[in-house]
Amino acid sequence: MSTILHEWAKVNGQKLYLQFQTIFLLMKRYVFAGMGISALAFFMACNQGNSSADKTTSEDPLAAHRDTTVNPRQDFFDYANGGWIKSNPIPPQYSQWGIGNLVKEELYNRLRTINEKAVANPQDAISKKIAAFWQSGMDSVKLNADGIKPIEGQLKAIDAISNLQQLAQVSAQLSSFADVLCGIGISQDAKNSEVMAVTFWQGGLGLPNRDYYFNTDERTTKVRAAYPGHISHMLQFTGMPAATADAAATDIVKLETILAKNSRKLEALRDPNANYNKMAVTKLTQMAPNIDWALYLQHQGIAKFADTVIVGQPEFYTALSNALKSEKLETWKNYLKWQVISSAAPYLSDTISASSFAFYGKLMRGQEKQQLRWKRVLDNEESAMGEALGQLFVKEYFNATAKKRYENLVEDIRAALKVRIQNLAWMSDSTKQKALYKLSKITKKVGYPDKWKDFSAMDIKNQSYFDNSLQAQIWWHNHEISKLGKPVDRTEWDMTPQTYNAYYNPSNNEIVLPAGIFTVPGKRDEELDDALVYGYAGASTIGHEITHGFDDEGRQFDAEGNLKSWWTKEDEEKFNKRAAVMVQQFDGYVVVDSLHINGKATLGENIADLGGILLGWDAFQKTEQFKKNEKISGLTPSERYFLGYSLGWLSHTKKEELARRVLTDVHSPAKFRVNGPFSDVDAFYDVYGLKPGDGMYRPDSLRVRIW
């Protein structure tokens, strides 16, 4: 689907700049504690390199992490990962602790060393930028002395607003770093993937999504009740008197509630056709007349290429236009100030940053302490210019042998899906042939890009941390705008090589597998047996991402990446009927308190999890390890396969964070990404001998059968 690039997420008490791969960014690992999507940045650990700093262990993680007091037939996640969870409590700086954190912890110190070496002896233009960025972020004395000073220019521009036209102009100028009014980005046209388009999306909220403004469960109500006080507290940093800030906060919450009421729910955002509304800019102005949208685009720097735009949620823009007229101009100005101070908080003084963390990190996510400054700076640096760092890392930590292993594994998984499609009893031959063609056209990107981005124009220098962060965000804004009117660059990566994540991009019909996603902490790649790799990488990553091309959203895009129906009506009905079984299954899982998984919102990820497990298993059965059936650490190859998949979800999460994710995440929590799909896999029943009455057992008639 299309790319929404200039998005923000409130994470760890901060708004972190995100570069969304697609509206439906179909990723394996979504968020680890204290990090947004772009800040996952889990750099390659020691598993692929030959550095003297690499350390290996003789311990077999699949055997060592188990809790053998748990019956695997009752709760496989607790059996597979419970031993590690009991021995590794969540650190106070985090709301979740697991394998992704372990990978990143291994690399934090290396990244710090790289930055400190750049400061001591910068070798080239890139190392000079790295040094300048690091120094500006680490200079807490200057940050604390400057206080609100770095954003005084933005605040003065807001104060000078005297009418709606000026409000729109300033909002457009602020949108490169603050989520004001709405979301706007540059993306492939979902129905013409050869063309880049301007896309408008709902946005402008200070809470994670619409449900936070209306849900009545205890945790959400508590967050909502504390929200006005937090806004007031942050506005007072701008010099606003307390009483004035209190009144302003009340008005801001009322305003955001209007926007939230007219925002679509999480599950509704997953319908690509319903969220594709192409129109002339003049029509958008007719629909939302209180902003001159042509002028707005001009202030964004993109009017030259934007006669037409794609509007995700038209009703949101009508409501936004009405609110611009119905709410006081002073309320809108205070709203902009709130968005600016909230967005800038991570790059300002310790006092301002800590105040933001107290709400978004401690209250909303359950983190007890803020992450150490140097780690926060590294996360921000990754978001700003992570691909520059990636060029240094892949030389040492992802050798040619490892790259070849995973390229071959992609083809093993592709071959497994080909056989499954050919053998489907419920699908017609006509749809099968088109599915097989799409499968054959999936592009694989493994490890790192062949062509690197050029960051020479990014204005990072001896200036404030906020200004360096702002300049990075402006560079990304201009980078995306530069794509308009040009052929789509299908070679570009939107994750860095060192990222512990992966994605399927339906507009390019590609899977992108950064080097970092294959990391097993403390292990080099050559130490890993095929059973572990086919479960950990083949199933939970490669098979997962390939299946996304055929889940409830991905299946709506053709082999060329266009949103275009290629199914017969009968086959679509059969698919939807089978998918409904999975919706019902996951609707039944209770995550925390009385909160259930949203089966519709998580459907695509759940289908991909199940598909990945099945494809990985099919491919693994062709390996020599499976055929020899020799035990390692007392475990058969088949047992090691299922434990290998479970290793990919090794983690535990605080209740506050679980509650937040139920409302905001299209991925099921880790435990249910293991127990849920395993309950639908016949091979799992055979390997572990499940019987009626076991906690993991589902009658055959209720097991999900799609791919």
The domains of the chain are located at 7-45+60-114+376-702, 149-347
Over residues 26-45, the mean pLDDT reads 31
Per the CB < 8 A criterion, the answer to whether 619 and 535 are in contact is no
Q: Is the pLDDT of residue 18 over 70?
A: no
User: Considering only 4-13, 192-201, 509-518, which range has the smallest mean pLDDT?
Assistant: 4-13
Which of 37-41, 299-303, 339-343, 498-502 tops mean pLDDT? 339-343
Q: Which residue has the higher pLDDT, 695 or 522?
A: 695
Q: What is the per-residue pLDDT across 576-628, written as a single tens digit (0 to 9) for each?
A: 999 999 999 999 999 999 999 999 999 999 999 999 999 999 999 999 999 99
Over residues 487-495, the mean pLDDT reads 94
Q: Is the pLDDT of residue 117 over 80?
A: yes
Per the CB < 8 A criterion, the answer to whether 536 and 517 are in contact is no
Q: Is the pLDDT of residue 151 over 90?
A: yes
Helix residue spans in 177-326 (DSSP H): 218-236, 242-261, 281-287, 293-300, 314-326
* Mean of pLDDT over the chain: 90
Q: What is the per-residue pLDDT across 402-431, written as a single tens digit (0 to 9) for each?
A: 899 999 999 999 999 999 999 999 999 999
Q: What angle do CA 541, 102, 55 make, to 5 degrees?
A: 100
Pick the CATH number of 7-45+60-114+376-702 from 3.50.50.60, 3.30.2350.10, 3.40.390.10, 3.40.50.150: 3.40.390.10
Task: Tell me whether domains 7-45+60-114+376-702 and 149-347 share a fold.
Answer: no
pLDDT of the residue at 58: 63
Residues 6 or more apart in contact with residue 519 via CB below 8 angstroms? 42, 44, 45, 47, 48, 103, 500
Over residues 45-64, the mean pLDDT reads 55
354 CB neighbour count, 10 Å cutoff: 14
Q: Is the pLDDT of residue 25 over 70?
A: no
Q: Is the pLDDT of residue 367 over 80?
A: yes
Which residue bears the tokens 């603050």? 178
What confidence tier does 395 reach under pLDDT thresholds 50, 70, 90? confident
Q: Is the pLDDT of residue 38 over 90?
A: no
Pick the CATH number of 149-347 from 3.90.105.20, 1.10.1740.10, 1.10.1380.10, 1.10.274.10: 1.10.1380.10
Over residues 117-137, the mean pLDDT reads 92
Read off the tokens for 368.
Answer: 């007890």
Read off the tokens for 69.
Answer: 């007091």
Over residues 9-35, the mean pLDDT reads 31
The percentage of the chain sitting over the pLDDT mark of 70, rounded to a whole number, equals: 92
Q: Is the pLDDT of residue 27 over 50?
A: no
